[in-house]
Structure 1
């Protein structure tokens, strides 16, 4: 049976073990699993979960960093027909309580601590949970929650042969229409949303983009995204399963350890953040790391100069949690037609994209900027607490809130968020457009743009991550070559690392925090090569 005909995670895991059983499925610095081991191990774990009270439809939260064990638990949960709720390791206790409530999580599986966050202790402190880890929880703040279980305890569970038979029957009863997971996302200005996807919608979405993302059997894929994001779970875990690839991951990406991992595991495809790739490329030169296994389709900065594309020549794969990852693209190792440079490519099979007038929802002509609407079998099945009528148009399209245009050849160009458009002295500015222009300046590793008001009306403001060679005056001068005068930021902040950029629990930039960073007290030091802020006319 072709991989794309596998309708559920259980079918896919069994099929992969049959076809590629001895191939390595997932690797972290401390462990690795073959596809056979993934199949047998997660079948056993699914039975143990069933014995512990987790069954088809049970909502199971998971908080832990990337690694082989994350994959084992997630696959076991979803094979059984339970609904996986991946939760960010960045969540504060109040944020965690909110997401557990919104998703009606019944069982929470968690590591005790990660990067200073103590998840069970935090819940205990706020809710006064029982000390007995096996006690049934009943609390008015989280009426659905019944148990919190440690990752260590999960792997101590077992099941009788009779329960294992029932678990196998439960897995076989799961259909493509059954819910697979609830994944939280948020806009830069909005509250987190619990997006529901079925087995069929998620697997179909991932499969539709595999070719353009250059993932196939034998690919050794490194992806830095956390698995609690759709980019990590769909773009990494499920992509590897569907393609028969090997996924290489680690808990915390750091330049030195990541580079050694790429070298040791002979990674062939590096997908992720361009800023990270640039930083790794600089470090690789001093560490003398062998990255010769990387092939075209990886991010350009890590490839030899002769394999890099011209600026704008490769598609910016574009998607969202509601579409379960990218819904349009173009082969990552192939140049776009010149007329489509700077585009996101074309919609993948199964996805209908239209551009509509944001005011009345009517379709607009090719080349006209409007709101992107999506329809097809791969879009979300729902959002927690919201009705279908609230989510979709009368003819079944999802209103994304993104602005874009389609050319006559069907290539999609992204123009920013409809709620992020700002007016500067009556002129329209899209922060995403300014960000793209600034990132093309030599020495700039990242750019984050918004509007601020310092009492003189709205101004464009930018936080720029640089390589310690730039000053605000130099960046501003370079910006004049690529931006209209009214789009050039008048408030600047130079940063040595994008870790200084405030982010929410889903990893997206926190716009309120970014504004606070940009207008915080700083000296106007145009010639300072380090973090500074300056205002004034552009």
Structure 2
């Protein structure tokens, strides 16, 4: 990897020179080339400079997948600012906490997305922020977000009448034109600055200044603060540098053979590390085309995939299951997809008969996306069932007994520790000692075992292990066994029990919310007796309780057994 590939601005400029009209992103009706991305992000970067942005400025992005996110992220990174994406799933409480916790100074956002009205939400979170007496020299001064100085809203993207809108979004009330041309009226009295008003400001900044600021960015400078999904605790802001994040994606691209000729279809949100690193930054480095969709209509997404002919897929398999259930799916030509992990929508000739015999991947925000993987797309022998591949280049690993702190023998379960140049710098706002041990190891909380050939097997989260009558049970192992026997998705959890401490329970997700009465007997061929759930329940897919981050809410799921 050359020195020019470890800083985002240099990668973008090079790709814009070498493949200017090659598409970088296709998202529903949006399409931007590498040249578009370079010129548009450069113009926004110059406008941000007029607002005081520069090296180290924290710039928040509140956008769904699409060109606005890409342009905003690239613009911030080019001038050395730190990109801080926010989840479109965020509750008002989460958004407010992250605005303050990540010290956002400038926020770029869409006015609304699907059922979310972010203008109203920001007005509620930042009371009085846009009153005239709360501003000084066109800056926000608000105790609720003490570092925040500027907000720019894209009203057009949230208007359902806008061409290319993938889904209806909240219609925003009109207000009088702002007197000063910059801060105007909210829908109910005041309105945040429209992002379109930034564009003329770019003309006041010379191209030479932008180029100089780009030259001042180093590989060791922070590129992004990516929040964890918060499935087991409050989301934490993870700091990654230009060199660390780009260097890691470069290595991963070599393993999965991503090239300029590839078209990657990904359903991972850009605000999480899988979408930001393993999809967006990976595509930029490879010079490939990234395809995504925000459409709520399965038919529209299938139209997009069929027309754009992706060659590679990646993302959350559960997020495309509805596409395979659409009545038109059987008649679609999706033969272009030859590699990837979205098996449900891939052609039958490349789809595995048993996904458990293909290497899976383990990713985490703290590792800058995928940390365990394999470039071997073929079916594996039975003894390698459930493999997650091997550690990615650049990662030192240990498998440690949580009780003793000693390395575990081959085949024994332990916690995965990682260390190396691509691991995060730390959690924003926390000391290094809170993130790493004295020897620099990050304790992932993931329980794994390693076989004699060095292949890793993910068994679950350390805190999720079920302790029943003195024995440890991995929910992931039981879930896999149930899926193998039934074909249904299963969620396994521990329920309190006065005699055993906990008992194993399972909730199956089935169209008719029923459980085969013979399931326990079938599982005797797959699991030791103490691992077989003592209680079963079933729910329909639409009834699965979810957290704001889109993951299953295990606590609420457990309430099914108390109903």
TM-score normalized by the length of structure 2: 0.86
* Equivalent in the alignment of 1:157: 198
* Contact preservation (8 Å) 2:395, 2:422: yes
Distance 1:485 1:258, change over 3 A: farther
Instruction: Classify 1:127/1:48 alpha carbon distance in 2 versus 1 (closer, same or farther; 3 Å).
Output: closer
2:189 is the alignment partner of 1:189? no
The residue number in structure 2 matching 1:217 is 260
Answering whether residue 81 of structure 2 is matched by residue 78 of structure 1, we say no
Deviates more, 1:253-262 or 1:170-179: 253-262
1:342 corresponds to:
386
Find the counterpart in structure 2 of residue 89 from structure 1: 88
Once residues 474 and 68 of structure 1 are traced to their aligned partners in structure 2, the CA distance between those partners, rounded to angstroms, is 51
Partner of 1:101: 100
The 8 Å contact of residues 50 and 163 in structure 1, kept in 2 or not, is answered as no
Gaps of 5+ in 1: 522-538
More displaced stretch, 424-433 vs 316-325: 424-433
* CA distance 1:215–1:476, shift in 2 (3 Å): farther
Conserved 8 A contact 1:323-1:378: yes
CA distance in 2, matches of 1:474, 1:278: 26
Residue 321 of structure 1: aligned partner: 365
Q: Which secondary structure does the structure 1 equivalent of 2:548 belong to? A: coil
**Partner secondary structure for residue 142 of structure 1:** coil
Deviations 1:242-268 (A, max 9, x none): 111111112245422221111011122
- CA drift of 1:470 comes to 5.3
Aligned match for 2:464, one of 420, 433, 436 = 420
| 3-state DSSP of counterpart to 1:69 | helix
Q: CA deviation digits over 1:5-57, x for unaligned, max 9?
A: 51111011111112222211001112101111111111111111111222221
In structure 2, the partner of 1:535 is none
Q: Give 1:435's aligned residue.
A: 479
5+ residue gaps in structure 2? 156-193
CA distance in structure 1 between the partners assigned to 2:556 and 2:2 by the alignment = 44
Contact map agreement 2:231 2:549 (CA 8 A) in 1: no
Distance of 2:297 and 2:503 partners within structure 1: 35
Question: Displacement, 1:277?
Answer: 4.2
SS at structure 2 position matched to 1:492: strand
Q: CA deviation at 1:192?
A: 1.3
Shift in Å, 1:137:
2.6
**By how many angstroms is 1:115 displaced?**
2.8
1:190-230 CA-to-partner distances (Å, cap 9, x unmatched) read 12111111111111221221233342221111111111111
CA contact (8 A) 1:298 1:332 kept: no
Match runs of 1:193-208 below 5 Å? 193-208=236-251
- Whether the 8 Å CA contact 2:367–2:422 is kept in 1: the answer is yes
2:546 — aligned with what?
A: 503
- Please tell me whether the aligned partners of residues 361 and 373 of structure 2 are also in contact (alpha carbons under 8 angstroms): yes
- Distance in 1, matches of 2:312 and 2:363, equals 20
Distance 1:163 1:289, change over 3 A: same
**Within 2, Cα distance between the matches of 1:29 and 1:132?**
38
Residue 455 of structure 2 is aligned with which of 404, 411, 419? 411
* Aligned pairs (5 A) from 1:491-530: 491-497=535-541, 499-516=542-559, 518-521=560-563
Name 1:147's counterpart in structure 2. Answer: 150
Among candidates 281, 300, 322, match of residue 257 of structure 1:
300
Deviations 1:433-472 (A, max 9, x none): 122222223441x222222237775232223222449534
Residue 525 of structure 1: aligned partner: none
* Residue-by-residue CA offset, 1:340-361 (whole Å, 9 max, x unaligned): 3321101111111111121343
Q: Which moved more, 1:114-123 or 1:264-273?
A: 114-123
Relative distance call for 1:342 and 1:53 in structure 2 (3 A) is same
Mapping for residues 336-375 of structure 1, pairs under 5 Å: 336=380, 339-375=383-419
* Contact residue 209 and residue 327 of structure 1 kept, 8 A: no
**Contact 1:189–1:510 under 8 Å retained in 2:** no
Aligned length: 517
Query: Quick one: distance in 2 between partners of 1:503 and 1:29?
Result: 26
Corresponding position of 1:138: 141
- In structure 2, relative to structure 1, the CA distance for the partners of 1:284 and 1:210 (3 Å cut) is farther
2: CA distance between counterparts of 1:67 and 1:332?
31
State the 1:339 CA deviation. 4.2
The alpha carbon displacement at 1:234 in A equals 1.0
C-alpha contact 2:312 2:338 (8 A) present in aligned 1: yes
When the two chains are superposed, the root-mean-square deviation of aligned CA atoms in Å is 2.4
C-alpha spacing 1:204/1:286, structure 2 compared with 1 (3 Å): closer
